[in-house]
Structures are given as structure tokens and as C-alpha cells.
Amino acid sequence: MSKPTVRIRFCEGCKWGLRAGWYAQELFSTFNGQLAGIFMEVGESGDFQVWVDDICLWDRRKDEGFPEAADLKRRLRDAISAEMSLGHCDLPERQITDNAGADQS
């Protein structure tokens, strides 16, 4: 079975190339070895979309803004490997916040 390919389509005029690159880095580090590649492509004015193969994971216009990295990772995981654990990304937000202030000693 072939590995999925991610495409990040962004508006160059909006200066979203760095944001697209950051998301690409986040996805590569989380899905190490599970992706054929991540491609960044210049889109139309105002575009910011993330696709895996022919599935749109995120569209800035429809989803009203940019995703949190954890949300994007969950959507990609659900599309390509639903059984995969994302560790802390799978925890409810409140539990993450509560654990952040826990005594580390």
C-alpha cells in the first residue's frame, strides 16, 4: 500500500509560507515514516488548505481560520491511521492544562 501525500496550499501574497512550512514540520515529526511527502503549493488569494491525497483536512475559509497543530494532527491521523496514538494530542484540553501546572519534583 502506498503512503499518503499531504499538500499544503497557501496564499503567497498573504505571507503564509512560513506558517505552511511550520505545519509541514509538525506533521513530518509526528508522522515520521508514514507519509510519502508533504508538498507546499502556492494557491489563490486567501487560500490556506491542507489535503491528504484527495481529502481536504482543513480549509481556512470553511473552518474559519487556521488549525491548532493538535487538531490538524488528529484530522490527519483519523484519515490515514485511525488506530495511531498521538499521545498528549489525544488528551482533552483541560487535562493538558491541568497537567502543565503539576509539580514536577
Give yes or no for residue 82 having a pLDDT over 70.
no
Residue 62 located in a structural domain: yes
Judge whether 71 lies within some domain. yes
What mean pLDDT comes out for the span 94-104? 48
User: Dihedral, CA atoms, 98, 99, 103, 105, nearest 10 degrees?
Assistant: 180
Quote the CA–CA distance of 69 and 25 in Å, as a whole number.
Answer: 10
Asked if the structure places residue 69 within a domain, the reply is yes
The CATH number assigned to the domain holding 91 equals 3.40.30.10
How do residues 26-80 score in pLDDT, each as one tens digit?
Answer: 999 999 999 999 999 999 999 999 999 999 999 999 999 999 999 999 999 989 8
pLDDT of the residue at 88: 59
Q: Is residue 24 part of a domain?
A: yes
What pLDDT does residue 6 have? 98
Domain span at 42: 5-100
85 in Cβ contact with 98 (< 8 Å): no
Evaluate whether residue 105 is within a structural domain: no
pLDDT computed for residue 46 by the predictor: 96
In the chain, how many domains are there?
1
20 part of a folded domain: yes
